[in-house]
Amino acid sequence: MQEVRPFFSIIIPTYNASSTLATAIDSILSQTFTSFEIIIMDGESSDTTVQIAKSFLNLDHSISITSQSDDGIYDAMNNGIKKARGLYFYFLGADDYLIDTKVLADIHQQLILNRTDVIYGNVQSPSLGSNYMGECDDQLIFHKNIAHQSIFFHRRVFELTGYFNLKYRTHADWAHNINWFFNSEITNQYFNRVIAHYADGGYSSRTKDHYFRKDLFSIYYLNAINRNSKLKVIFNITKGLFSRITR
């Protein structure tokens, strides 16, 4: 008998998340739409994270747990992608949670209606407010990242863009978002709905990504010029002027 593919693969990277993981998992298991799998990628936690995850295994849902050494959160997310069987991928932080029980149902309905490759909404948090960040555009994505807790990706997106770049320790998702946002082969849709509660104080909010900040200009423009011929001319002129100044 052929295995039925889940519609969503929900990937949770964890490391010493014993105080929050149960809330994250409960927010998924309480969804009214149930065609999903949960993939927990643990980075060899030293607390009870793995035991807490295993306590959910006897429930009537597809949950897999892998605890292994990794090279940070994005390596864990990449490894989760390799294990995922679903049509759409979603990445939930171990200290985040889906905002209500109808998130997956509403996203599924939108995807069935519009057949888009990427759909994203909003997140809420104490520091970002109740509606971060709204619809993105060509300029805004240079200044602000779309929170990964608000994005659902068709699996083909990663076939076209590749995995998260491990060079960027805290903003590999931002680099990836710029990549798919400007890719003419990838369709995207903004859905005005809060998807998840985003926890403040996580690793990315506490750690500077100097490599990403250094590369942001080139990441943005090299992707943007692929879709905008006028911008390509401006980029080449700017690049020429900059090279003369720095000689």
Q: How confident is the model at residue 208 (pLDDT cuts 50, 70, 90)?
A: confident
Structural domains of the chain in order of their starting residue, each with its CATH number: 8-207 (3.90.550.10)
Stronger pLDDT, 94 or 2, i.e. the higher one: 94
Q: How confident is the model at residue 128 (pLDDT cuts 50, 70, 90)?
A: confident
What's the CA gap between 196 and 77, in Å, rounded? 18
Model pLDDT for residues 168-202, shown as the tens digit of each residue: 999 999 999 999 999 999 999 999 999 999 997 65
To the nearest whole percent, how much of the chain has pLDDT over 70? 88
pLDDT value at residue 58: 84
Q: Which of 64, 120, 68 is nearest to 90 (CA)?
A: 120
Query: Position of tokens 């900059």?
Result: 242
* For residue 235, pLDDT beyond 60: no
Please name every residue paired with 153 in a beta bridge, in sequence order, or none if there are none. 89, 118
What's the CA gap between 36 and 80, in Å, rounded? 14
Average pLDDT value over all residues in the chain: 91
Q: Which of 188, 169, 158, 176 is nearest to 80 (CA)?
A: 158
The predicted model scores a pTM of 0.90
